[in-house]
Copies of this chain bind each other. A is one copy, B any other.
Amino acid sequence: MQQDVIRVQSADFDVAHEYQRLAGQPQIGAVVMFVGRVRDLSANADLHALHLEHYPAMTERALQQLVQAARARWQLDAVTIIHRVGRLAPAEQIVLVLTASPHRDTAYEANRYLMDYLKTAAPFWKKEITRHGEAWVEARASDEQARARWET
């Protein structure tokens, strides 16, 4: 039984609720949950908000393909990807990736794989709204490098 949850939504998500659906399943020995959040590292709290845009017709398809690629590499009991769009304030949750497996190495690696690909292959874009104005976030070479690790 494949247990995948893939959602794109403006509403916040509840990590506990998403984790709870794995309750009582004794084949699951390891669960890894990654939560990405709106970060403001500036000393002056410069960031008012992020605006997350996406390409609706493509997004869920891209995420589905990503999960299938992970399932082809690893034995996974459950996968959850939830990605938010719209306006998000500092410290708000942006993305949840949950992986469940009999083995911890699998749960860790599949989770990181999903995040590395999500960062480079899923059609989301961030715009920063700061006290100085608005600016689209530039893609980072380190994210491309992180993905490239999985392609060797």
Contact = CB atoms under 8 A, between A and B. Distances in A.
* Chain A contact patch, size range: 35 or more
Interface stretch (A1-9, A25-33, A60-68): A25-33
Given A108-B112, A112-B108, A115-B104, A38 B15 contact: no
Contact of A39 (B27, B47, B112): B27
A134 B134 CA distance: 63
This protein's copies in its complex: 2
A29 B36 contact: yes
Interface of A: 14-16, 19, 23-41, 45, 47, 90-91, 102, 104-105, 107-108, 111-112, 115, 146
Nearest to A142: B105
